[in-house]
Chain A
Amino acid sequence: MLLLAGTIPDRDLPLLAGKAQLTERGITIDGRSVDIDRGTAAMISVVCHITLAMGLEAPYAVVAGDIGSREGSVKIYEFLAKNLPDLGPDAVTIHYIMPDIAWNKKVLASIDSMEHPPVLLADAGGMYVAKAGGDAHRYQLFTPDLGEAAFLADEKAAHPTYTRGFIFHMEEDVPELVKKAYRFKNAATTMFIKGKTDYVCRDGDIIERIDSPNIETLEPVGGTGDMVTGTISAMVQAGRDHVDACGIAGRVNRVAGELANPTPATQVSEIIGHIPAALEKVLNGRL
Chain B
Amino acid sequence: MKWFKKNKKKTPGNGKPATRGLLIYPDTGSVMQVEQILKEEGYDIKVVSPPPKYRTGCDLSVEYPLVEELGIRRLLDTIGLSPLEVIRISSDNLEPLKLVRVKDFGRYLMVRAANMKITVDKESLVIVNISGGGCPDVPYLAREMVGKPIGQAPDPIKIGFSLCAYSLGTAREELLRIMGEKNASSGRHDS
Interface residues of A (CB under 8 A from B): 7-9, 37-40, 66-70, 72-73, 95-102, 104, 123-129, 132-133, 145, 147-148, 151, 156-165, 168-169, 216-217, 219-225, 263-267
Contacts and interface: CB of A to CB of B under 8 A. Distances in A.
Contacts of B164: 160-161
A133 B128 CA distance: 34
Interface stretch (B68-76, B139-147, B182-190): B139-147
B134 A124 contact: yes
9 contacts: A68-B160, A68-B165, A96-B139, A97-B134, A97-B136, A158-B59, A160-B134, A217-B105, A224-B131
Chain B, interface size category, equals 35 or more
Interface string B153-180: 0000000111111110000000000000
Interface of B: 27, 29, 49, 55-59, 94-97, 99, 103, 105, 107-108, 110, 112, 114-117, 119, 121, 128-140, 142-143, 146, 160-167
B57 A100 contact: yes
Given A128-B57, A151-B115, A219-B131, A67 B97 contact: no
Nearest to A39: B139
Nearest to B111: A220
Given A158-B55, A220-B131, A9 B136 contact: yes
Nearest to B118: A220
A96 B116 CA distance: 14
A95 B160 CA distance: 18
Nearest to A216: B105
Q: Which 4 A-B pairs have the closest CB atoms?
A: A68-B137, A99-B57, A124-B134, A68-B161
Contact of B57 (A68, A101, A164, A263): A101
Contacts of B135: 68, 96-99, 124-125, 128
Given A101-B56, A220-B110, A67 B121 contact: no
A124 B29 contact: no
Contact of B167 (A102, A161, A225, A263): A161
B135 to A, nearest CB: 5
